[in-house]
Amino acid sequence: MAKTLVIGAFGQIGSELVPALRSKYGREGVIASDIREPHPPGEMEPYEICDATDKEGMERLIRRHDVDTVYHLASLLSASGEKNPDNAWRLNVKSLKIVLDLAVKHKLKRVFWPSSIAAFGPTTPRVGTPQHTVLKPTTMYGVTKVTGELLCQYYHLKYGLDVRSVRYPGLISHKALPGGGTTDYAVGIFYDALQKGSYSCYLRPDTRLPMMYMDDAIRGTIELMDAPAERLSVRTSYNLTAISFSAAELAAEVKKHVPSFKISYKPDERQKIADSWPQSIDDSQARKDWGWKHTYGVPEMTAVMIKELKKKLGMR
């Protein structure tokens, strides 16, 4: 039986996408892969250690498991990418090119690759950002996302590869922590509110960004991959959004659950990145083409984050 491969299985998205795909296709039908040993060992089986920038290793993996679908999630996020632009380019672009080339060579059925709101830049309209608009990002992460989007479209047009993509907003989850992004505060605030009663936010209170609860993101990703190819009119990457809020608005929502919660603001280098991104996104094309619909609003997302994190942190 042909298998699905998830590259970047331990990341923020991968660690929730793997179980979701396994409940749909069965454990053996989904190969998880990442660059490090799983902890505890065996937990992620079937699991393969592989560096996404190692073409031979990736090819062996695709052959050995008769892979026909790849979710390629390995990536360096925006803030980490600014600390090491060379690494961001190498991991984000080189690995995608490898996956696309192998997908053509081995005639894979379908590939998923995530883009981001980071594909936009300071000259893009920031409110209700349209599907087709200016893509002139000022971060290396954004540059790799625009490059990747164009590569995906090129492989679709040139080789007929069925590669699909969405521009994720900031993703909020109580399972895996995000690492090295600009939207990470929207997860960190919950941990600190519950554990310390206060949070020091690295963005200004009025910083508004598009966000999404992880369950919506996972469901949307699988729905896009299940959609009939003829319904898809975008082969760069679909705008996708759910909610938009400012840091102060999220803090007010958290306060409804933790009344003594205090927030302070100390903007750092991530403020500049956030200021170059949209405040809200127009994702009507995704809604029209393949029926995208989010379910979690800000109050629902906040309530479930508080409830699940309390359980995870062993609090009442």
* Active centre residues (catalytic): 141
Q: Which residues contact 173 (CB under 8 A, 6 or more apart)?
A: 12, 16, 187, 213, 214
The values of phi and psi at residue 172, to 5°, are -120, 125
CB nearer to ligand SER: pick between 70 and 210: 210
Please report, to the nearest 10 degrees, the dihedral formed by the alpha carbons of residues 219, 250, 272, 282 taken in order: 40
CB nearer to ligand SER: pick between 73 and 193: 73
Residue number of the CB closest to ligand SER reads 181
Q: Which residues contact 261 (CB under 8 A, 6 or more apart)?
A: 193, 197, 198, 199, 251, 254, 255
Residue ranges that bind ligand SER, judged by CB under 6 A: 77-78, 116-118, 141, 168, 170, 181-183
For the bound state, the minimum distance from the C-beta of residue 119 to ligand SER, rounded and expressed in Å, comes to 9
For the bound state, the minimum distance from the C-beta of residue 168 to ligand SER, rounded and expressed in Å, comes to 6
For the bound state, the minimum distance from the C-beta of residue 45 to ligand SER, rounded and expressed in Å, comes to 29
CB nearer to ligand SER: pick between 30 and 166: 166
CB nearer to ligand SER: pick between 78 and 131: 78
For the bound state, the minimum distance from the C-beta of residue 169 to ligand SER, rounded and expressed in Å, comes to 7
Alpha-carbon distances, residue 115 vs 25, 59, 167, 175 (angstroms)? 25, 23, 4, 21
Q: Which residues contact 273 (CB under 8 A, 6 or more apart)?
A: 78, 79, 82, 118, 139, 182
